[in-house]
Structure 1
Amino acid sequence: MASDRLEDVQHPQADSREGTMKALQDRDDSSTCSANGSVRTVSTATYEREEQEAEEIFRQRIEKLCRVLWPPKSIKDRLVNSEVANHLRANMFFGSLVPVPQTPLIERLRDGDLNHITSITLPSSYGHGDRKLILRVPRWDQKRLDRNVAILNYVRWKTSIPVPTIAATDFSCDNVLQKPYVLQHRIPGKDLNTVWDDLSHLQRCTVAGELGRVIRTLLLLEHPTTGIIEAAPRSKGGVDCFSIVPYELDLGEGEEEPKAETYISLTAFRPVESTLDSFRSQFGRWRTLALKRSCGEIDNEIQLWDCMLRAVLEMEGLGLFRPNLNCLCHVDLHSGNIMVETQSDMSIRLTAILDWDEAIFAPKFVNCKPPAWLWDDDYEDLLDEDDLDPWPYELDGANALPSSREKQELKRIFEENAGPEYPHLAYDEHSRLCRGLFRIAKDGLNDNANWKAAERILSEWEILRHSLTSEF
């Protein structure tokens, strides 16, 4: 899954066009066509200069945005930042007499797949309590940005899970950045992946308990239907400021799904959508789209959707979808998205859970992918014998007995805090397979990994189904 890391990184990272720059560095120059059709040679240095110029323009816009949002309060600071002062500083006689205004410290951080990330530290003259901020500017889908804010607000309103707080937003391009943006207060501490190796066993036990409580909280945050949280149009605040919409299909350019999405308030009465209903709905949407693409021909993709639907119908017939309930699922709760602050050699505090961009309401088993990295250092790096990536296919073995007493204790503490329904939803073979099927139902068969995962899951389900039915 994609992840935007918002921790306090000390050094700016490479710009977002690393791939392009690498390709350029592999050769001395490249040829492009000019406006009149002639070929001109563009050197690597030219591209680097253009990137630097674009970066400088964006940095100046960020400085201006900070002045707009937090204008200087004192008379002295307002005078120093005035246009008159700028003219005087440009004068050879008065320039040395006029103080230079304080400017924000702006550092480009490593970009996530979905957003450009910039660190901003405001100077004291800006009169702002929390001076450390993170600027997120979306790469593509502008709608995703307001959805992300809605999810953060919903989690903060409904739970005590620590999440980033919002300093300012603008979902339009009508601002000094000329782009939609979200400004968040920077989270104290570091991501868990960075500090894990240096933590004591007691500190790791604390993290295991905290993470278990996060999972339990999300399991209790139930909803009758599946979908994505968004800000409701024309909301008046409170609970009605959130809506839930169906999952989006990854459509090709120019494609449209026949069924239109509708906004439905989270408080509106909805008939309960069972796990089978969720699968049937998503498989049906993808199958309809595939049938449209194939001009009515039953091709391999449609046959695969039919096989997956038959598998979940068999699971329902065996009574495996219990409980038939949905909850809020983070779906990307790895150590890089957990922020912690070390308080002493013996204590640690969880300061935030990051990257709620892909959070959804889904069947409860989706929320229960075991965090095996807590008790098995090698589990997350494993590939199966066919070199199949564990996403969306999920490797088995997460419930294996850890290799040491300390790791066994971490697993026990996590499970105790995750609640009594967690082990069944996490470790049962059908739950593991259903998590993979649900990811495919949500994301489609648009890449080779999902095709392989679907075929592998169906093959394993046949074996499991045979073992379950032979018991009767």
Structure 2
Amino acid sequence: MLNVRSPIAGDVAPCSGSGCSCTRTFVHSIVFPNLHVEVPHDGSVTTESTFQVLKACFHHWSSCPLSGVNAGIRDRLIQMASDMNDLGLFDNMPICLTHMQLDYDNIFVDRHAHGDSPIISAITDWDTATFAPMFMVCVPPSWLWMRAENNETFSRAVIDGPTSPEARELKQLFEDAAGPDYMRFAYEPMYDWARLLVELAMDYHFHKVGRVNVVETILRNWESHCRQWNLDLTCYIREGTLN
């Protein structure tokens, strides 16, 4: 999916022409409602910046009466995105095909397709697929080698890693195959924040009961970190100490 790219972020949709039976696929822009681009694209459209996409999304939500996103929340979300942009988290960020629910429930494996070599035979639940910043694709697939238990957070489980030799070997095999770019986006703690912000920006269910309360909590936590570090988070990005 990292190699399937679009110049714009948005939803994936087939050609909707009247009576059309072609297999062309388009991305409908989040930023500009009337803009759609065919993928693969021809390079004629300039790639949208991640900050531009986030800002447009939050302005959209603040204009929807049912979203619960007032101007105050909108401006705080945009400021959070601006902080990340200033720190370079969004620099040269491609927009890639993203399966928003790529976990073990949606991956089918044929264990006997080639003798003792299993293959992935299908991936389901593409209705939530979208084109989003590359770091959205690079979610650590920790379900391959471990599960968070009790009150242990997913992030904590990712940082600590597996405990058994077999699970550690599986994790290492995945990381060797994934490559350095994937690894940086997957394990750098600041990109956990960035993924959370993009999920909020692209959330089509802001009006759900309690959703705005979740947004408020996220904003308070982010703003608390910023005050604690005097808005200078560069060292935390480099050292990977943000939890």
Does 1:265 find its partner at 2:44? no
Q: Would you say the 8 A contact 1:436–1:453 is kept in 2?
A: no
**Distance 1:353-1:225 versus aligned 2 partners, 3 A rule:** same
Look up the equivalent residue of 1:303 and give its one-letter code.
G
Aligned residue among 297, 304, 314 for 2:73: 304
Q: Deviations over 1:7-53 (max 9, x none)?
A: xxxxxxxxxxxxxxxxxxxxxxxxxxxxxxxxxxxxxxxxxxxxxxx
Alignment: residue pair count: 227
Matches of 1:341 and 1:260 in 2, distance apart? 41
Q: CA deviation at 1:430?
A: 1.9
**Distance 1:227-1:323 versus aligned 2 partners, 3 A rule:** same
Q: Deviations over 1:63-118 (max 9, x none)?
A: xxxxxxxxxxxxxxxxxxxxxxxxxxxxxxxxxxxxxxxxxxxxxxxxxxxxxxxx
Within a 5 Å distance, the mapping from 1:84-99 to structure 2 comes to: none
Within a 5 Å distance, the mapping from 1:139-218 to structure 2 comes to: 218=1
Matched with 1:101 is none
Q: Deviations over 1:135-188 (max 9, x none)?
A: xxxxxxxxxxxxxxxxxxxxxxxxxxxxxxxxxxxxxxxxxxxxxxxxxxxxxx
- Flag the structure with larger Rg: 1
Matches of 1:337 and 1:356 in 2, distance apart? 9
Matches of 1:452 and 1:413 in 2, distance apart? 40
Does 1:459 find its partner at 2:234? no
**Distance 1:427-1:264 versus aligned 2 partners, 3 A rule:** same
Matched with 1:320 is 89
> Runs of 5+ in structure 1 lacking a partner?
1-217, 249-258, 385-389
Matches of 1:414 and 1:449 in 2, distance apart? 37
Paired-residue identity, % = 28
Does 1:358 find its partner at 2:128? yes
Look up the equivalent residue of 1:424 and give its one-letter code.
R
Does 1:437 find its partner at 2:197? yes
Matches of 1:354 and 1:265 in 2, distance apart? 22
> Runs of 5+ in structure 2 lacking a partner?
236-243
Matches of 1:463 and 1:405 in 2, distance apart? 38
Within a 5 Å distance, the mapping from 1:356-435 to structure 2 comes to: 356-377=126-147, 379=148, 395-435=155-195
- Alpha-carbon RMSD across the aligned residues, in angstroms, is 3.0
SS of the counterpart of 1:324?
coil
Matched with 1:469 is 232
Within a 5 Å distance, the mapping from 1:273-312 to structure 2 comes to: 273-290=48-65, 301-312=70-81
Matches of 1:311 and 1:329 in 2, distance apart? 23
Which of structures 1 and 2 has the larger relative contact order (alpha carbons within 8 angstroms, sep 6+)?
A: 2
Look up the equivalent residue of 2:74 and give its one-letter code.
W
Matched with 1:229 is 12
- TM-score using structure 1 length: 0.43
Q: Deviations over 1:385-419 (max 9, x none)?
A: xxxxx8xxx74442322112211111111122222
